[in-house]
Amino acid sequence: MADAKWGMVIDVDKCTGCQACVVACQSENNVPINTEDIFNQRRAIEWIRVERYWEGEFPDVKARFIPVLCQHCDDAPCEPVCPVFATYHNNEGMNVQIYNRCIGTRFCANNCPYHVRYFNFWEPEWPDTLTHQLNPDVTVRSRGIMEKCTFCVQRIRRTSREADRDGREIEDGARELSPACVNSCPTSALVWGDFNNKNSKVSNLAEKEMSHNGSHHGRGYKMMENLGTSPNVIYLKKIDKHAKETVAHE
């Protein structure tokens, strides 16, 4: 899988804000339970979160949803600032976070324009019985370290290893490979795959929706592209029949 470049295409026009991805992620990745106190302290951890923005006043009011997760930027601002290489870009196009290396300077979190890095302010706690649910493939993070979306790298590892063992090919969009959020999304707003595979769904979407040589002929945009982070997550613009066209990067 070393020649892959994983990425996601998120169709904002399909996202209903149902939060299925949020729980799917928490369940897969042993994200600690966000208690009421943790919300009040503004330390809740949601590797993928759904943001809601208001527009207008009653009765002409719109609420718009957008799922935000680690953009796995090619030029990630978080990577150069980590003093110990706890976060870096790997050869699969992913921005990875190595928990055991992390010392918790929180420099990366400050420098992330997408606010998708989360810090473990407390030791995560589960009641005894709930620990049976924890995914053994994912490290339970201790306090004092950063964590963030990994594109469910544990699934990539397990699936490619088992495919190697059994000598089979992995199809594009295979469920055992896809991140938990993508599998859960009821409206298929999230599509995930390999940008290096020219036949993958994400490549086709990128080809169709992104601008090429300056001609913009689709809905594709990258979030806050003006910062030069070159994310590996492509968003497809929300369609509002009453809206005037706006451009993501001014």
Partner 1 sequence: MIPGDFQIRKPSRIQVLILGILGIGGLVGAVVGLVLGAFVITAWLGLPLDVFGLNEGPEQPIAFPHTTHVKSLGMDCTFCHRNVTVGAAASVPAVGLCMTCHKTIGDGNEEISKLRDYHSSGLPINWVRVHRVPDHVNFIHEPHIRHFGEKYGGPAGTCQLCHGDVGRMVKVKQVRSLKMGDCVDCHKANDAPTDCTTCHY
Partner 2 sequence: MGGSATAVAAAACGVPEKELLVQAPLEMPEDLVTGLDNWYATIDRQNRNGIGIVVRVMEGRAKKIEGNVDYPVNVGKHNAIADAGVQSLYHPDRISAPLVRTGERGEGNWEEISWTDAVSRIASRLEGVSGEELVLVTSPIGGHMGSVVNSFTDAFGSTHLQYEPLERTVLQASIKNVFGQDVMPDFDIENAAYVLSFGADFLNGWVSPVRFGRGYGDFRHAEGRERGTFTHIESRLSMTAANADDWIYVKPGYEGVLALSMAKVIIDEGLGDDAAVASLTQNGTNDLSQFDPSNVSAVSGVPAQRIREIAHEFATKRPAVAIGGGSAAAHTNGLFNLNAVHSLNYLVGNVNKKGGVIFNPMPPIGLPVGSRSSSFQQMSTLSDRMANREVKALFVREADPFYGMPSSSEVRKASFGVDLIVSFSGQFDDTTAMADIVLPEHNYLEDWGTDVPDPGPGYQVVGFQQPVVRPFFENRGGHLGTKNFGDVLITLGEILSNPLSLPGDDVKTFKDVVEQGARSLYGLNRGSVKSDDFRSFWQGVLQRGGWWDTGARYDGPSPTPPALPVSPQEPISGSGEFALVPFESAGLSDGRTSDLPWLQALPDPISTAVWHTWVEINNKKAEEMDIREGDVVEVTSPRGSIKALAYPHPGISPDAVAVPIGGGHLGGGRYSKERGSNVFSILEPLTDDKTGALAWGATRVSLRKTGDWVRLSKFENTKPDISEDTHRKIIPLTNG
Partner 3 sequence: MQEHVQLTQKQINEDLLTSVLGTPRWWWPALGFFVLVFLIGMSAFGYMLNQGVGVTGLNRPVFWGAFMVNFVFFIGISHAGIMISAILRLTQAEWRRPITRAAEVLTVFSLMSALMAAPLVHVGRPWRADLWVFPYDFARGVWINIRSPFVWDPSAVMTYLTASTLFVLIALIPDLAIIRDRSTGLKRKLYAGMALGFRGTPRQWKLQTIAGILLSALVLPVFVSVHSIVSWDFAVQIGPEAWHSTIFAPYFIIGAIHSGVSAVATLMVVMVWAWGWNKYITPDHLDAIARLLIIVATAWFFFFFLEWVFALYTLEPAEMAMRKLQVFESPWSWLFVVFLFTAYFIPVPMWLFRGVRRSLFWMFVTTILVNVGMWLERFLIIVPGLMRRSEFIFDWGSYHPSIIELAMVAMTFAWVGMGMLVFTKVFPLIPLFDIKEGMVGRDEIRIGRRIVPASIRE
Binding footprint of partner 2, residue count (CB under 8 A): 81
Return d(Cα 2, Cα 123) in angstroms, integer: 34
* Cβ proximity of 14 and 189 under 8 Å: yes
Q: What count of other Cβ atoms lies within 10 Å of the Cβ of residue 141?
A: 23
Return d(Cα 184, Cα 50) in angstroms, integer: 14
Partner whose footprint covers residue 239, from partner 3, partner 1, partner 2, none (CB < 5 to 8 Å by kind): partner 2
6 closest CA partner among 245, 214, 195: 195
Site map (CB under 8 A) of partner 2, residues 134-163, x = contact? xxx---------------------x-----
The distance from CA 37 to its chain's CA centroid, rounded to whole angstroms, is: 25
Partner whose footprint covers residue 140, from partner 1, partner 3, partner 2, none (CB < 5 to 8 Å by kind): partner 1
* Cβ proximity of 170 and 163 under 8 Å: yes
Partner whose footprint covers residue 35, from partner 1, partner 2, partner 3, none (CB < 5 to 8 Å by kind): partner 2
Closest approach of partner 3 to the CB of residue 118, in Å: 7
Q: Which stretch binds partner 2 (CB under 8 A): 46-54, 73-81, 86-94, 195-203?
A: 46-54
Tell which one of 90, 91, 187, 230 touches partner 2 (CB under 8 A): 187
Residue appearing with tokens 């919300």? 39
Query: What DSSP state is assigned to residue 226?
Result: G
Return d(Cα 152, Cα 94) in angstroms, integer: 11
Lookup: tokens for 190: 């999230």
Query: What DSSP state is assigned to residue 243?
Result: P
107 binds partner 1 per the rule CB under 8 A: no
Tell which one of 3, 186, 207, 217 touches partner 2 (CB under 8 A): 186
The string of DSSP letters for 141-201 reads P-TT-EE----SHHHHHHHHHHHHHHT-PPPTT-TTTS-HHHHH-TT--EEEEETTSTTSH
Closest approach of partner 1 to the CB of residue 90, in Å: 5
Closest approach of partner 2 to the CB of residue 214, in Å: 17
Closest approach of partner 3 to the CB of residue 199, in Å: 35
Binders of partner 2 among residues 100 to 129 (CB under 8 A) are 127-129
Binders of partner 1 among residues 154 to 183 (CB under 8 A) are 154, 157, 161, 164-165
Partner whose footprint covers residue 94, from partner 1, partner 2, partner 3, none (CB < 5 to 8 Å by kind): partner 1
100 binds partner 1 per the rule CB under 8 A: yes
Residue appearing with tokens 């993501």? 248
Binders of partner 1 among residues 28 to 57 (CB under 8 A) are none
Q: What residues line the site for partner 1 (CB under 8 A)?
A: 2, 88, 90-92, 94, 96, 98-101, 137-140, 150, 153-154, 157, 161, 164-165
